């Protein structure tokens, strides 16, 4: 693709600017481990929330969202629940508060507050470090796939997709390594502003050039219906026959069953709490437990522009790109849709801003993932087992080395990955299947111990790595229940065959975190020792707020999509639901957050 010098200049200025951020924050980030990985817990919640949203605004995920909205129509709006996107609602309602009360630096270190000390704790910490590093490398290989394919089409230099991915990862690594969390958050906020400008630009072009009638002329019957029956009932045969083959290959024809499995998996994974990645680091970086909850609430709001961009790319592709897709025949490639729109429909200057914005989307995800992965290597391996008394200078060097090691591993696995979809399914269904059971039990069952956690995590991770080899071509979503069953069974059996955790540790955890669930024996002992202890947590209120919160988050997304589709009646209805659910949450959640 040929770019105008103005567009190239915008991209170069942006890339040089983010590298300079790393040098700017190098000194303040190097003060100590807490400053490097959590920015000293001095960043306000709204900046952390915007940074977290920018980290989720990844270029690979955006390409995938455009594809599912194109192929499945408005029913594709349910498919992001695969991640699941609504885990942010569980976090904002109660889990962020529970996590932040610990005051630790990483998710593995958090386990000390739950399991105390001893061999079981060391095994459980080791299991979460293994999971964290496997998931971080998985996410980096996912990023590698997406940014390489995008850059090879959109940037003007004749390089392979792998070469582009390596170069962009290398550039991003520079400012992450130098500036730590300070650099990550500040650049994420700047990148988010750039992303919002890009989203507005693309949406304006789509709404100006395309009318609802234009869209109706190029979509199959049922494409514009959000709700569904047992079957998808979406036939592209008369418009773009190859799309029917993709639907069949995805295995989503019985859409109601797929949706129920997605919801089942999503609720369990959300109950388990955040995986040990950048989301967890943002929660732990909050100044207070209240601010960590508000940070999580900020994310769905801040992602509103992203869904406008997704809808804009989709409708432009539907109207203008279908002849190109038809010409591809059996080798149809939806990942070329976004580059086509940028190259053919945007003016000079806007092209540079949009490309810089999409590169920012990649960088904001990449930098947060690297920072989280390095935190586990440094804090939970080096400082715990190798050199606990390491000087700040030595620790800083290991920080740098750990970041480079994580990036190199991500590149290596990215080179071996077959596709974006395969990596995504491994992460969201396979790996998280092994994560869910032990991490639900750690919150809600007092008798669950560190040995149960270790065996549950290790069996789950092992099956997630093994199943793609045993069942090649099978969607990991359908293997999720089996992974969950084995992992959960291992967790319960190992806990019952080993002694419970120290009573003092359990009482301390219960008094500090105040979780709900099967904690009555510990609750009675805490009250017996301290009659003044007040338990204000309400599981009924939390779960009601979660249900309302999911409606709130989903209608925020649908409002953005309907605006770009120019279906203003539906947009108004969704906006009304957003307002109503917001007022409910203000009374039943916000006003009840601890000071």
In Å, how far are 69, 178, 208, 560 from 311, measured between CA atoms? 8, 36, 14, 8
Give the Cα separation of 424 and 376 in Å (integer).
Answer: 22
Nearest to 509 by CA among 124, 111, 125, 95: 111
Give the Cα separation of 252 and 250 in Å (integer).
Answer: 6
37 within domain boundaries: yes
Number of compact structural domains in the chain: 2
Give the pLDDT of residue 490. Answer: 96
Are 238 and 357 within one domain?
yes
433 within domain boundaries: yes
Contact yes or no for 286/96 (Cβ under 8 A): yes
Domain endpoint, select from 466, 501, 536: 501
Contact yes or no for 25/180 (Cβ under 8 A): yes
35 within domain boundaries: yes
Using DSSP, state whether 117 is helix, strand or coil.
coil
Domain endpoint, select from 385, 417, 449: 417
Are 143 and 29 within one domain?
yes
Give the pLDDT of residue 41. Answer: 65
Are 376 and 464 within one domain?
no
Give the Cα separation of 531 and 594 in Å (integer).
Answer: 21
Q: Residue 580: how many CB atoms within 10 A of its CB?
A: 14
Q: Residue 90: how many CB atoms within 10 A of its CB?
A: 26
256 within domain boundaries: yes
What residue numbers bound the domain in which 43 lies?
5-417
Q: Which residues, 6 or more positions from 327, have their beta carbon under 8 angstroms from its beta carbon? A: none
Are 340 and 260 within one domain?
yes
210 within domain boundaries: yes
DSSP letter for each residue of 396-435: HHHHHHHHHHHHHHHHHHHHH---HHHHHHIIIIIIHHHH
Are 403 and 428 within one domain?
no
Helices 450-470, 107-115: crossing angle, 10 deg rounding: 140
Give the Cα separation of 306 and 327 in Å (integer).
Answer: 29
434 within domain boundaries: yes
- Give, as one character, the DSSP assignment of residue 132: H
Give the pLDDT of residue 308. Answer: 96
Give the pLDDT of residue 551. Answer: 98
Residue with tokens 């209120």: 541
Nearest to 79 by CA among 548, 590, 549, 421: 421
Give the Cα separation of 48 and 92 in Å (integer).
Answer: 13
Rounded to 5°, angle at Cα 419 from 413 and 425 = 90
Are 366 and 463 within one domain?
no
Give the pLDDT of residue 439. Answer: 93
pLDDT (tens, 9 = 90+) of the chain, 595 residues, equals: 677 888 888 888 877 776 676 566 555 444 444 444 445 567 788 888 888 887 777 777 888 899 999 999 999 999 999 888 999 999 999 999 998 887 776 666 778 889 988 899 888 888 888 887 877 777 777 777 777 877 887 777 778 888 888 888 887 777 566 545 555 666 777 778 888 888 998 899 899 999 999 999 999 999 999 999 899 989 998 888 888 888 888 888 889 999 999 999 899 999 998 876 667 778 888 888 899 999 999 999 999 999 999 999 999 989 988 888 888 877 777 777 887 788 777 888 888 888 887 777 777 667 667 777 777 788 778 888 788 888 877 877 887 788 788 888 878 777 766 555 556 666 666 677 788 999 999 999 999 999 999 999 999 888 888 887 788 777 777 888 899 999 999 999 999 999 999 999 999 999 988 899 999 999 999 999 998 888 877 899 999 999 999 999 999 999 999 999 999 999 999 999 999 999 999 999 999 987 6
545 within domain boundaries: no
Domain CATH code at residue 376: 1.20.1730.10
> In 430-502, where does DSSP find H-type helix?
432-444, 450-470, 476-496
Using DSSP, state whether 482 is helix, strand or coil.
helix
Burial class (CB in 10 A: 0-12, 13-18, 19+), 382: buried
Burial class (CB in 10 A: 0-12, 13-18, 19+), 560: buried
Are 477 and 382 within one domain?
no
Domain endpoint, select from 360, 390, 417: 417
Are 357 and 494 within one domain?
no
Contact yes or no for 203/564 (Cβ under 8 A): yes
Count, residues in the chain? 595
Give the Cα separation of 63 and 248 in Å (integer).
Answer: 20
Are 403 and 443 within one domain?
no
What is the b/e burial string over 386-417, where b = at least 16 CB atoms within 10 angstroms of the residue's CB? eeeebeeeebbebbbebbeebbebbbebbeee
CA 332 from centroid of its chain's CA atoms: 27
CA 415 from centroid of its chain's CA atoms: 22
Give the Cα separation of 404 and 177 in Å (integer).
Answer: 8
Give the Cα separation of 520 and 35 in Å (integer).
Answer: 38
Contact yes or no for 152/164 (Cβ under 8 A): yes
pTM: 0.86
Bridge partner list, 518? 445
Are 121 and 97 within one domain?
yes
Burial class (CB in 10 A: 0-12, 13-18, 19+), 329: exposed
Using DSSP, state whether 86 is helix, strand or coil.
coil
Are 248 and 397 within one domain?
yes
Q: In this structure, what token pair is assigned to residue 169?
A: 């990862």
174 within domain boundaries: yes
Contact yes or no for 43/29 (Cβ under 8 A): no
Bridge partner list, 254? none
Are 78 and 23 within one domain?
yes
């Amino acid at each position: 693709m040929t770019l105008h010098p103005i567009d190239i200049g915008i991209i170069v200025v942006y890339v040089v600017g983010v590298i300079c951020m790393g040098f700017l924050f190098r000194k303040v980030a190097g003060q100590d481990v807490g400053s490097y990985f959590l920015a000293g817990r001095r960043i306000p919640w709204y900046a952390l929330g915007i940074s977290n949203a920018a980290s989720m605004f990844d270029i690979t995920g955006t390409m995938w969202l455009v594809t599912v909205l194109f192929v499945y129509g408005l029913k594709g709006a349910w498919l992001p629940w695969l991640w699941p996107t609504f885990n942010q609602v569980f976090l904002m309602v109660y889990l962020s508060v529970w996590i932040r009360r610990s005051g630790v630096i990483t998710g593995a270190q958090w386990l000390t507050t739950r399991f105390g000390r001893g061999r079981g704790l060391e095994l459980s910490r080791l299991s979460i470090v293994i999971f964290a590093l496997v998931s971080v490398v998985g996410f980096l290989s996912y990023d590698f796939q997406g940014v390489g394919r995008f850059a090879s089409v959109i940037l003007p230099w004749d390089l392979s997709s792998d070469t582009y991915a390596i170069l962009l990862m290398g550039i991003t690594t520079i400012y992450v390594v130098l500036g730590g969390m300070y650099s990550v958050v500040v650049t994420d906020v700047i990148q988010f502003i750039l992303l919002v400008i890009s989203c507005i630009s693309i949406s304006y072009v789509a709404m100006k050039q395309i009318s609802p009638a234009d869209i109706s002329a190029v979509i199959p019957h049922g494409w514009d219906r959000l709700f569904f029956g047992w079957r998808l009932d979406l036939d592209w045969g008369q418009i773009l026959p190859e799309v029917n083959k993709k639907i069949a290959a995805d295995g989503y024809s019985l859409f109601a069953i797929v949706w129920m499995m997605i919801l089942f998996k999503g609720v369990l994974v959300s109950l388990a709490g955040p995986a040990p990645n950048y989301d967890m680091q943002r929660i732990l970086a909050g100044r207070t437990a209240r601010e960590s909850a508000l940070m999580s609430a900020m994310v769905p709001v801040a992602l509103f522009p992203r869904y406008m961009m997704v809808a804009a790319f989709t409708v432009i592709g539907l109207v203008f790109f279908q002849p190109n897709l038809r010409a591809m025949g059996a080798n149809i490639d939806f990942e070329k849709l976004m580059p086509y729109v940028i190259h053919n429909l945007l003016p000079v200057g806007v092209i540079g801003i949009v490309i810089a914005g999409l590169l920012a989307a990649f960088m904001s995800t990449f930098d947060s993932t690297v920072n989280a992965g390095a935190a586990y290597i440094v804090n939970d391996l080096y400082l715990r087992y190798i050199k606990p008394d390491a000087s700040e200078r030595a620790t800083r060097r290991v920080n740098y080395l750990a970041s480079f090691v994580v990036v190199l591993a991500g590149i290596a696995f990215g080179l071996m990955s077959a596709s974006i979809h395969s990596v995504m399914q491994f992460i969201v269904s396979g790996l998280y299947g092994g994560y869910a059971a032990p991490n639900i039990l750690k919150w809600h069952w007092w008798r669950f111990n560190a040995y149960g956690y270790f065996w549950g995590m290790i069996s789950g991770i092992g099956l997630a790595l093994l199943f793609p080899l045993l069942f090649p071509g099978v969607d990991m979503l359908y293997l999720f229940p089996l992974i969950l069953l084995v992992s959960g069974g291992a967790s319960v059996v190992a806990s019952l065959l080993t002694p419970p955790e120290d009573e003092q540790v359990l009482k301390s955890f219960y008094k500090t975190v105040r979780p709900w669930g099967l904690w009555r024996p510990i609750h009675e002992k805490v009250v017996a020792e301290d009659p003044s202890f007040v338990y204000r947590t309400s599981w009924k209120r939390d779960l009601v707020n979660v249900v309302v919160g999911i409606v709130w988050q989903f209608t925020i997304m649908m409002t953005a999509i309907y605006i770009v589709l120019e279906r203003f009646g539906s947009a108004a209805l969704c906006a009304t639901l957003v307002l109503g659910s917001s007022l409910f949450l203000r009374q039943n959640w916000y006003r009840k957050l601890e000071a």
